[in-house]
Amino acid sequence: MQDATSQAELMVILRHAPHGSSWLKEGLDVALVAAAFDRRVTLLFMGEGITALLEGQQAGPLGQKGTAPTLAMLEMYDIDNLLVEQRGMDELGLTSDQLMLPVTGVDDAEISRLVASHALVLNF
Partner 1 sequence: MRYAILLLDAPYTSQASHSALRFTRALLARGHDVEGVFFYHDGVHNAARLAAPPQDEPHLVDSWAELAREHSVPLQVCIAAALRRGLLDEQEAARHGKLGASVAPPFELTGLGQLVDLGLRCDRLITFGP
Partner 2 sequence: MLLHTLNRPPTSQVLAQALAGMGPDDKLLLIEDGVIGALPAHREHFNRVAGRLYALQEDLESRGLLPLRDQAVRVVDVEGFISMTETCERTVSWY
Among 3, 36, 60, 75, which residue interacts with partner 2 (rule: CB under 8 A)? Answer: 60
Q: Is 37 helix (H, G, I), strand (E, B) or coil?
A: coil
33: partner contacted, choices partner 1, partner 2, none (Cβ within 5-8 A by kind): partner 1
What is the per-residue binding string for partner 2 in 79-98, x denoting contact by CB under 8 A? ------x-x---xxxx---x
Please answer whether residues 18 and 67 qualify as being in contact, where contact means their C-beta atoms are separated by less than 8 angstroms.
yes
Q: Interface with partner 1 by CB under 8 A: which residues?
A: 9-10, 19-23, 26, 29-30, 33-34, 36-37, 39, 60-65, 119-120, 122-123
Characterize 70-81 residue by residue with b for buried, 16 or more Cβ atoms within 10 angstroms of its Cβ, and e for exposed: bbeebeeeebeb
